Amino acid sequence: MEEPSYKNRKVITIGVVSELTGLSERQIRYYEERKLIFPERTERGNRKYSFSDVERLMDIADKREEGVRTYEIRQDMLKAKKKEEDKKLRERMLRGQLNARFGVQKGRLNGK
């Protein structure tokens, strides 16, 4: 499996995330409880975050300041995820149709 990009590697502690975002550790844990953020856990149970998580937390904080409820943020996240999954499915289906139509074999793409 391919290594995640630096933005998605879970290496940042909650204390550093708190400093970067200006959010309290309590707020960050609350957003995790609300299923808005998904840190990994070390063997000792410490949370580890990625730069993508930090960006998401900043976005959440901005929306909360605008009065958007966590429930609404979660619903928007789910809609965006579904939209992305649908897009990937359409791309796979189109690729399959093109491969079937033109007889392209897997492995023959990219000069293999």
Q: Which of 5-9, 61-65, 100-104, 105-109 has the lowest mean pLDDT?
A: 105-109
Q: Give the helix/strand (H/E) hosting 28.
A: helix 25-33
The whole-angstrom separation of Cα 39 and Cα 107 is 36
Residue 101: pLDDT band with limits 50, 70, 90: confident
If one counts every other C-beta atom within 10 angstroms of the C-beta of residue 68, the result is 13
pLDDT digits 0-9 by tens, 40-87? 999 999 999 999 999 999 999 999 999 999 999 999 999 999 999 999
pTM > 0.85: no
Classify the phi-psi angles of 17: left when phi > 0, otherwise alpha if psi is within -120 to 50, otherwise beta: alpha
